[in-house]
Structure 1
């Protein structure tokens, strides 16, 4: 928990004109033995809303996309927090909607557990309620007329009065309509239920596919699904998820990856991989190929499938698989190779952009800012300045119109 390091990373990302910072979150420690937990550096982290509120003060254009869990929160709480952050950041908030992929979270909230389908049903209602609450006030509701003493126009305040299967929420929200209308909605689920949810609600969809042909299929299917849900193809941006280590040269990137692999302790690494795949791998020899393992019904299926495909593709031993998991499946790129990769995927409709996961954050982020971005700019494939002031502006997303179907007061 080092705010200065996170602040420096955000400032570097903004200097490079990256669109946003994407923050994951978990509401519980992952289930590990005490011995393994004692060797992990990811057990504690900042609560994302307070962290992003602080980052909003030291950045001006960088989007702040943070995770909000719909299973273990209430719509009013999250709607209020995201609206406040959007105001604090002058329109740069984004909501990564998750339904919970960590089975240890339920016991922290009264033991609530829901199956995947039910979680997404609740998530859809949750987002509907949040969007309705963001429209509690019309954009010009606050007239602040000194002569009449009228602070807001009563005709421009609307109550939600939502009564649904999972939630009963009266409204209105105690925060003015966000600068973006609604914070940008992101989603990363790849199960059938997750993809259906994304087609209806998401404006950013994270695609875990690493094979370009599979990515093109996912891209086309998600765009088509959005149209089938009554939306425009441009209303949804597909970002390919890629974990990476970037060097100025390929040799530098390979050297850094080899160093990281050499630091992996196979004992906690094995338990971490077992927990990640929801399968006990301790019964298998470390230096023999990983056996066939199915994708679990628990956790995030798309990420599991990606990890297993990488293990099978290279016929990795269990020891090598623990190294792969420790670096989150990262691939080593030179600066020029990464620029080529980005161009190929974007230019052939495999992706609209990328969610970059850096295994060695500062080293790779610095190379990205100092070498990859300038090379893409030289090729005419990346902007020199931000397109606007809000996250929506910079992503090319339209601002939602105010709802007009709820009861006026």
Structure 2
């Protein structure tokens, strides 16, 4: 992968979109949650645009108020990605699997099998669970943070040891001789205080050896784990300055852990709704917002603008007196953005439609405005790439591929085509088979 080109993944956490009302749109199949063909079509669209991977997050409990919205997470990421693998050819396939509940032998077998059948396109988002509801589904209480990460370290190293237990030296099947050299398919006999395994794993190397490891950005125990194991770290910075600082902190911690900082890619979340004009994009967002109660967001916006009174005229720009009174919180990028939009003459409803309260920076505008945001962050060193979120998957993934990708290519910051076959090729991370030899801590 050319380092001058950004990495783009697309979050397909559910079948509808990031906006909670996407399932209500008239052009959306309301049964898409259980229709694998819908997810396959989203992935194919992303592949047509050359995006490096699709990403399916997970929570191990039913998440979402079914009275008003669809379930927020996929039914099962690994099963879903197995179907997507057979319907796509080049795009990477990344999914979440918790280190808190699943035994490492099962994790290693499922993920590496998916990597083999997809010809080396799999990434594992390795996360410890923290939600009490998830632990309740496994009949457990949430452990202390240090215990949670103690298990994560053990699981990561046992899984990777199992991935490497069928060595390359075992060779290919020879119909005139033996299927594989058993001397190079060995038990790992690796045991910690919480998990362990004998091995070996009955899965040979994939085209990329073993899955790419993805982890979320964190601090403390989480940062230590991420720089030890992750090839990709995904974060949610609110500003270029925050992204640049977090990326630099990760690079420094990686060097201290004995890794080359260039081997870890830092991706930032970003959300988009596109239109031929900014007004068109806002109207698209407003069509979604129309299905939600605006009273709560309006009260929150008033607070973000530093106003003492409620915003009672949502469709009219702020008055001169209100504009004189507004003030941004200097430490909150969303507050700063809201004030900028108010001074630009947008109404409160339109300010909300600019996605100022999204949990990550979002652009509601033209393809050029979307490309400007990505380019500014990328060129500033705030990210090596982005995890893309879209309000409405059924239209916005296609809009991004058809309208934004050509602009990024014209500017020379996104590749023209896949340069390799595997996810490691796509994101530019080095080969690894088995446990990273630089990592010496963990189960003995």
- Tell me the TM-score normalised to structure 2 length: 0.76
Q: What SS is found at the alignment partner of 1:37?
A: coil
What stretches of structure 2 of length at least 5 have no aligned partner?
A: 1-32, 307-330, 343-347, 438-444
State the partner residue of 2:29.
none
Instruction: Name the CA distance, whole Å, in 2 between partners of 1:245 and 1:190.
Output: 28
Query: Could you tell me which of 171, 179, 186 is aligned with 2:214?
Result: 186
Provide closer, same or farther for how the CA distance between residues 393 and 131 of structure 1 changes in structure 2, counting only shifts above 3 A: same
> Relative to structure 2, which stretch is displaced further, 98-107 or 242-251?
242-251
**2:129 aligned with 1:96, yes or no?**
no
State the partner residue of 1:171.
199
Instruction: Name the CA distance, whole Å, in 2 between partners of 1:51 and 1:117.
Output: 32
Instruction: Name the CA distance, whole Å, in 2 between partners of 1:89 and 1:193.
Output: 32
State the partner residue of 2:317.
none
Contact 1:327 1:359 in 2 (8 A): no
Q: What SS is found at the alignment partner of 1:73?
A: coil
Q: Alpha-carbon deviation of 1:258?
A: 2.0
Q: What SS is found at the alignment partner of 1:133?
A: helix
Instruction: Name the CA distance, whole Å, in 1 between partners of 2:94 and 2:407.
Output: 26
State the partner residue of 1:58.
87
Query: Could you tell me which of 151, 154, 166 is aligned with 1:137?
Result: 166
Q: Alpha-carbon deviation of 1:249?
A: 2.5
State the partner residue of 1:296.
none
Instruction: Name the CA distance, whole Å, in 1 between partners of 2:220 and 2:183.
Output: 42
Q: Alpha-carbon deviation of 1:39?
A: 1.5
Instruction: Name the CA distance, whole Å, in 1 between partners of 2:424 and 2:374.
Output: 21
Query: Could you tell me which of 45, 53, 68 is aligned with 1:12?
Result: 45
Provide closer, same or farther for how the CA distance between residues 39 and 190 of structure 1 changes in structure 2, counting only shifts above 3 A: same
Query: How many residues align structurally?
Result: 370
State the partner residue of 2:180.
152
**2:137 aligned with 1:108, yes or no?**
yes
Instruction: Name the CA distance, whole Å, in 1 between partners of 2:183 and 2:93.
Output: 33
Provide closer, same or farther for how the CA distance between residues 46 and 182 of structure 1 changes in structure 2, counting only shifts above 3 A: same
- Tell me the TM-score normalised to structure 1 length: 0.82
Provide closer, same or farther for how the CA distance between residues 352 and 189 of structure 1 changes in structure 2, counting only shifts above 3 A: closer
Instruction: Name the CA distance, whole Å, in 2 between partners of 1:51 and 1:189.
Output: 25
Residue pairs, 1:9-408, within 5 angstroms: 9-30=42-63, 36-42=65-71, 45-148=74-177, 150-265=178-293, 289=303, 309=332, 312-313=335-336, 314=338, 330-401=362-433
State the partner residue of 2:328.
none
Q: What SS is found at the alignment partner of 1:105?
A: helix
Contact 1:71 1:99 in 2 (8 A): yes
Instruction: Name the CA distance, whole Å, in 2 between partners of 1:44 and 1:385.
Output: 30
Provide closer, same or farther for how the CA distance between residues 291 and 110 of structure 1 changes in structure 2, counting only shifts above 3 A: farther
Q: Alpha-carbon deviation of 1:189?
A: 3.7
Provide closer, same or farther for how the CA distance between residues 110 and 83 of structure 1 changes in structure 2, counting only shifts above 3 A: same
Q: What SS is found at the alignment partner of 1:121?
A: helix
What stretches of structure 1 of length at least 5 have no aligned partner?
A: 274-284, 293-307
State the partner residue of 2:21.
none
Q: Alpha-carbon deviation of 1:262?
A: 2.1
Provide closer, same or farther for how the CA distance between residues 154 and 44 of structure 1 changes in structure 2, counting only shifts above 3 A: closer
Instruction: Name the CA distance, whole Å, in 2 between partners of 1:3 and 1:254.
Output: 30
Contact 1:250 1:332 in 2 (8 A): yes
Q: Alpha-carbon deviation of 1:140?
A: 3.7
Contact 1:245 1:256 in 2 (8 A): yes
* Larger relative contact order (CA 8 Å, sep ≥ 6): 2
Deviations 1:241-267 (A, max 9, x none): 112222233222211122222221369
Provide closer, same or farther for how the CA distance between residues 266 and 74 of structure 1 changes in structure 2, counting only shifts above 3 A: farther
State the partner residue of 1:282.
none
Provide closer, same or farther for how the CA distance between residues 259 and 92 of structure 1 changes in structure 2, counting only shifts above 3 A: same
